[in-house]
Amino acid sequence: MTLPFFFDFNLSELVKHPVFADQPDYRAMQVWQQVYTKLKFDPMQINNVPLELRRKMKDAFDFEPVTVAQKVSGEGNQAEKIAFNLSDGAKIETVLMRYTERNTICISTQVGCGMGCVFCATGQMGFTRNLETAEIVGQVMYFAKILREEGSALTNIVIMGMGEPFVNYDAVLKSIDILNDPDGFQFGERRITISTVGIVPMIEKFTLAKRQINLAVSLHAPTNAIRDKILPINKTYPIEKLLIACNDYAKYTKRRISFEYALIDGVNDSLEDATQLAHLLKGMLCHVNLIPLNPTRNYGGKGTKSDHVKAFYSTLTRAGIPCSIRISRGVEIGAGCGQLVNKE
Ligand code: SAH
Ligand code: SF4
């Protein structure tokens, strides 16, 4: 018999679980706090509750939705990629990036992805399934524990690993609620970023939810002609519709939106493209992140050379668009943006 994952429950669901039926009201909260503040993922270690209950919890919950299959580190340990096994044998990858003052993890939300962006390794493998809440929370808990044991802490979460988070909206938002719980892990929404390829109705839904979570949108092109070729979803939600949703988001939430722009040599990186991009974004509360494309096996395009990246950046800046140049961490271990896969 397969047990339900502990990390699938939020606190109000946990309280109602049968293992707590004959217990005082505060019991589930005690367990919740031990799990999410002390990071005890073995119920036998939760030693402020009766032994009998600890045993029952061991028989009632599975605390390991993700288990390590493989670890790879690069750049002097600054980037670490973990391949996790899921209970059905599927694999996902998660990346930890250590900076001087931050420890950021990039987590996955699906096994594969059905959006088919041509330059993305995850897109190239196609869609297998959505992750469950517990599999999303489990990735975070794994790294939270590793960092805690090192005397450090997780500071940021970017939902930019494998998969399109807005196709798995409910599980993603529930995971964030669990991580955010004031009696538990207390991870602030402002330290979380969700990146979407641009599923317009879900951006609208997210806007109305008025969350404190940061939103990033993968734009990658200033025209439908270019975007159609690299992001097939653009045929369903073209740039003009996408930008209306983005504008509404910025206006309604008063939060700055980030646009991701992977610079691909000769595809979307002309200075005319930069000017058109500036024109599109003029007046919006936003920031553009320019990332030279990382190589992937099934796409021949190359990342823009650094001199030209600077020229593209200057064109945007001069036109009054706030932007930065980002270099992906972990490229040599296949942990850079768009390089995550579930290989055997
Ligand atoms: N599905 C979501 C989040 C995961 S992808 C999305 O598409 O936004 C995270 C980011 O990596 C996206 O901005 C995506 O466009 C970008 N990306 C994908 N492949 C890349 C590559 N080969 N080089 C650089 N960025 C890439
Ligand atoms: Fe999916 Fe994002 Fe990759 Fe596109 S870039 S295929 S949406 S993971």
pLDDT in tens, 275-290: 999 999 999 999 999 9
Confidence of residue 344 (pLDDT cuts 50, 70, 90): very low
Which atom belonging to ligand 2 lies closest to the Cα atom of 113?
A: 1
Q: Could you check whether 6-60 and 67-333 share the same CATH topology?
A: no
Pocket test for ligand 1, best of 195, 219, 269, 304 (most atoms within 8 A of CB): 195
Å from CA of 110 to ligand 1 middle: 14
- With pLDDT > 90 as the criterion, what percentage of the chain qualifies? 92
CA of 233 to the centre of ligand 2 (A): 10
3.30.499, 2.60.120, 1.10.150, 1.10.10: CATH of 6-60: 1.10.150
Task: Name the nearest CA neighbour of 169 among 199, 140, 139.
Answer: 199
CA of 67 to the centre of ligand 2 (A): 24
For the segment 225-248, the average pLDDT, to the nearest whole number, is 98
Please state which of the ranges 153-167, 186-200, 255-269, 323-337 shows the lowest mean pLDDT: 323-337
Residue 250 burial (CB < 10 Å; 0-12/13-18/19+)? Answer: middle
Domain ranges, ordered by start, for the chain: 6-60, 67-333
pLDDT band at 327 (very low <50, low <70, confident <90, very high): confident
Kindly state if the Cβ of 122 falls inside 6 Å of ligand 2. Answer: yes
Tally of CA atoms within 13 A in the half-sphere of 338 that contains its CB = 29
Beta-bridge mates of residue 91: 85
Q: What is the CA angle 335-337-342, rounded to 5?
A: 55
- pTM for the whole structure: 0.97
Mean pLDDT for 48-55 is 97
Buried b (16+ CB within 10 A) or exposed e, 311-344: bbbebbeeeebebeeeebbbbebbbbbbbbbbee
End-to-end CA distance of the chain: 26
Q: Residue 32: pLDDT above 90?
A: yes
Ligand 2 centroid to residue 322 C-alpha, Å: 24
Average pLDDT over residues 85-111: 96
Q: Is the pLDDT of residue 179 over 80?
A: yes
d(CA 84, CA 66): 6
Contact predicate 212/64, CB 8 Å:
no
51's CB contacts (< 8 A; 6+ apart) are none
The number of CA neighbours under 13 Å toward the Cβ of 142 is 26
For residue 74, what pLDDT is reported? 87
Q: How confident is the model at residue 343 (pLDDT cuts 50, 70, 90)?
A: low
In a 13 Å sphere around the CA of 83, the CA atoms on its Cβ side amount to 15
Query: For ligand 1, what atom is nearest to the CA of residue 159?
Result: 3
80, 93, 132, 260: which is the annotated catalytic residue?
93
Instruction: From 259, 322, 261, 334, select the one nearest 295 (Cα to Cα).
Output: 334
Is the beta carbon of 120 within 6 A of some atom in ligand 2? yes
Write down the CATH number for the domain with range 67-333. Answer: 3.20.20.70
